[in-house]
Structure 1
């Protein structure tokens, strides 16, 4: 079925009909669910904005924790019967996928599933025994993700594949799957997320039809190419979602008490706020009230002091990774000794060099067993644990890392209210006056720089990557200095 031609007979069609014909065939893919979970406005602007914000092709993989084709092939390299769908046109790729399914191929790589305007791209379709439209076998879907943990957005994508497979083979898979880089298969019951999946799908269809979602800025919005629009709209409305780490349920509770903006919240006395919102904990009300005051007046509040160790030598630590390859390629350390700074990068140009990089880093730590090691966020500790398990570590270095690693964000959150919606290192560092050298500095862009460097071996790109990492550890140091001055 196709919409009527735009001739003179249809010039009187209503605006609502025009919207219907324009958007009824808009494609929904597994990535749509990822976008919806992260930021419903992402879906809205992608469909309805006259301006387009295309992502770098690798960014499409990066945003939903996927991996490049070469790394995916490594993950399934030990499978004996792999049929790869090569067609680029979605309809041709679907026909090729159906042919492989009918043949009963064991593993179908890069298959495409289509039903009307739904198009799924599971990384792997795996044959299992059971009666279906195909005969005595049917298929289940799996995606390959860098994450070692199941996340809701992965499960919604799996539910989408299950819906498509049920229409194609007339058997719905019971479980969805995620394959990690170390070939571990994580499973989850489709039924677990099915009800929420259908609610999300209904909301997505409404958004595509023209319903604009309510303002609500979250950290997920930062992954969207439309983040600036999301933030601008929320700021123009003085929206409560601008409060740092506020939950939708908390905003709903405030709104039900006729508190609808940051300004309204900031003007209330705390006693009045407690009276009007009696069912929320005092601790949460205090934090949100202080946050509203901070944002409204553009200044921070110290809620309690932060105790930091005194040392002649301090280390500041940051890791650069390429999630597309599941490859942690740069351990950067800033050493501060009696006020003098020196930057020490430990780099691996390929995954084969990771172990050497790790040993060099451990040797460096062994030379500074009493130095506190400051970092920002849990990622550095997670990678250190993974590398220690994979490549080994001496007892003395392990004890030093366990004893000396200090996550600044864990100290900041309970102690300081910043006039910021987000507490990333870049947000806080910018507030205290530190700026990165590269105008386009970001974690995502650093991955793209590294991918480009792998292909070109450009010294200029390598220098940019090193400077970005050095700026990360410098920012961590500047934050520690600021905390010592303002919150000690």
Structure 2
């Protein structure tokens, strides 16, 4: 088949574009809407001044995504075309010419589809030589690039809409489209399996763009609307303020007539147990947390168990980063193990084991276990199960002496279940920071959290150990986490006395 004429290309261009008018939907919004519908509502209907500023961690994530995208393009699609353009319509006209000229690939250039009311820039349009289309004996298929190792449904739906768009434009819809993940693995997806879900998402999206409201829920939004939506949820006293109530459970509760904290606080266990997915223990916990929030005071659930007495009390906390591969096989490189140590015969001391590079994680771990197993009659307190899970994995992977490993593992005590079985707090998340702050503890640094420490560690590694300010911030944050664990432990002991 011969190439299309300029007149043919003009006809295709006119068929899919409208003069001086942009399509209603940008294709990348499909992914955002699938993950957080209220983010899209805010984009269209909320005051932009309410947006959160970008944090160092978010900037790092965007940079990592761009770096991965560039690496994939240079590694796998170096022969593909990418032309400069001033407007989306100009770029779309160039795409049609490239498709007509049988470009082997087209990178990050716009598609416009008036019929679907959508425009967007797929990552890759790859030539398929043996499948004809309006452009001749060849056609194009869609490839989307994601830096995540695990592909989400939202990623697939974004690729699916590009696949539908290119089908309209070339008059042949590819039956399969592809996604490349953070490990450079290419996965096929069959368009027909996502058609119905895509239709539903698009209609819901159009409804929201046209003004349909969405109930604000705690942690229901992503950056940059997280704080704004959280404030709306708090103002509405929404049921999602209760720890453990996420979107699906909130839907079930709302269907049963429970939409606010005080409605759940006044409910009986029997009322809640009739709702899908809620058993006796869950109902008890929800009501206790709701009562704590409703009264703005601690709700007592059951007596505390007696805490063990040891000669050396150690309060530990790990800092990890998921941006580097770990030799332990974990998704995290645990580059810092911090410990606040207290004995009857010596002053309290903060001790840290810091791996200056990800490669030093095994040696750093060995140093920690060597030190920990030398302590006299120690007990290692921590908050939640991360420390035990990771130390067990690190110990086994880095061939720590089994006696030393078990010496530490068997003396680990997670304070989280001890506290939460006995008390419900008037807080929205049952984390170390939230509970310790409620009880009166304060962190030294306001601008560092778990995600921020990952960005700081990246800064330190990339500076080849010269960025001591970042390292010191991480150490300060980690010491405060250890001190917060000790603070809660001491509060528990005071509760046992009273």
TM-score normalised by length of structure 1: 0.74
- RMSD over equivalenced CA pairs, Å: 4.5
Question: Which of 33, 42, 47 matches 1:45?
Answer: 42
Question: Which of 283, 292, 299 matches 1:285?
Answer: 283
Note the residue ranges of structure 2 that are not aligned, 5 or more in a row.
1-16, 326-331
Aligned to 1:229: 228
> Matched residue of 2:281: which SS?
helix
Equivalences for residues 123-202 of structure 1 within 5 A: 131=131, 133=133, 139=141, 141-147=143-149, 149-160=150-161, 162-164=163-165, 166-167=167-168, 170-172=172-174, 174=176, 176-177=178-179, 179-181=181-183, 195-202=196-203
The answer on 1:399 being equivalent to 2:406 is yes
Deviation at 1:297, TM superposition (A): 0.6
The answer on 1:482 being equivalent to 2:484 is no
> Matched residue of 1:475: which SS?
helix
| 1:428–1:144 Cα change, 3 Å | same
The C-alpha deviation readout for 1:225-251, integer Å capped at 9, x for no partner, is 322221222222222222222244544
Q: Distance in 2 between matches of 1:356 and 1:97?
A: 56
Q: Is the 8 A contact 2:81 2:103 kept in 1?
A: no
Q: Distance in 1 between matches of 2:324 and 2:96?
A: 26
Q: Distance in 2 between matches of 1:166 and 1:388?
A: 53
Q: Distance in 2 between matches of 1:346 and 1:97?
A: 58
Question: Which of 459, 472, 480 matches 1:471?
Answer: 480
Q: Is the 8 A contact 2:146 2:181 kept in 1?
A: yes
Aligned to 2:213: 212
| 1:166–1:472 Cα change, 3 Å | farther
Greater Rg over alpha carbons, structure: 2
Q: Is the 8 A contact 1:61 1:68 kept in 2?
A: no
Deviation at 1:164, TM superposition (A): 4.9
Q: Distance in 1 between matches of 2:129 and 2:391?
A: 41
The C-alpha deviation readout for 1:381-430, integer Å capped at 9, x for no partner, is 56556655765444334434553444444555554322222223222221
Deviation at 1:336, TM superposition (A): 2.0
TM-score normalised by length of structure 2: 0.72
> Matched residue of 1:299: which SS?
coil
Q: Is the 8 A contact 2:321 2:335 kept in 1?
A: no
Aligned to 1:328: 333
The C-alpha deviation readout for 1:44-77, integer Å capped at 9, x for no partner, is 223333324375496557669x835556677899
Aligned to 1:15: none
| 1:329–1:132 Cα change, 3 Å | farther
Q: Distance in 2 between matches of 1:409 and 1:390?
A: 26
Aligned to 1:319: 318
Note the residue ranges of structure 1 that are not aligned, 5 or more in a row.
5-20
> Matched residue of 1:284: which SS?
helix
Q: Distance in 2 between matches of 1:424 and 1:389?
A: 28
Q: Distance in 1 between matches of 2:58 and 2:82?
A: 19
Q: Distance in 2 between matches of 1:475 and 1:142?
A: 43
| 1:144–1:293 Cα change, 3 Å | same
Aligned residues: 458
Question: Which of 429, 437, 444 matches 1:430?
Answer: 437
Deviation at 1:294, TM superposition (A): 0.9
> Matched residue of 1:131: which SS?
coil
| 1:299–1:337 Cα change, 3 Å | same
Deviation at 1:296, TM superposition (A): 0.7
Aligned to 2:10: none
- Tell which deviates more after alignment, 156-165 or 413-422: 156-165
Equivalences for residues 413-452 of structure 1 within 5 A: 413-452=420-459
Q: Distance in 1 between matches of 2:69 and 2:401?
A: 33
Deviation at 1:118, TM superposition (A): 3.8
Deviation at 1:35, TM superposition (A): 3.9
- Greater relative contact order (CA < 8 Å, ≥ 6 in sequence): 1
Q: Is the 8 A contact 1:332 1:473 kept in 2?
A: no
Q: Distance in 2 between matches of 1:323 and 1:240?
A: 32
Q: Distance in 2 between matches of 1:203 and 1:345?
A: 51
Equivalences for residues 51-66 of structure 1 within 5 A: 51-52=48-49, 53=51, 56=54, 59-60=57-58
> Matched residue of 2:350: which SS?
strand
| 1:171–1:454 Cα change, 3 Å | same
Q: Distance in 1 between matches of 2:380 and 2:210?
A: 52
The C-alpha deviation readout for 1:149-174, integer Å capped at 9, x for no partner, is 45444444454554455556644364
Deviation at 1:287, TM superposition (A): 2.5
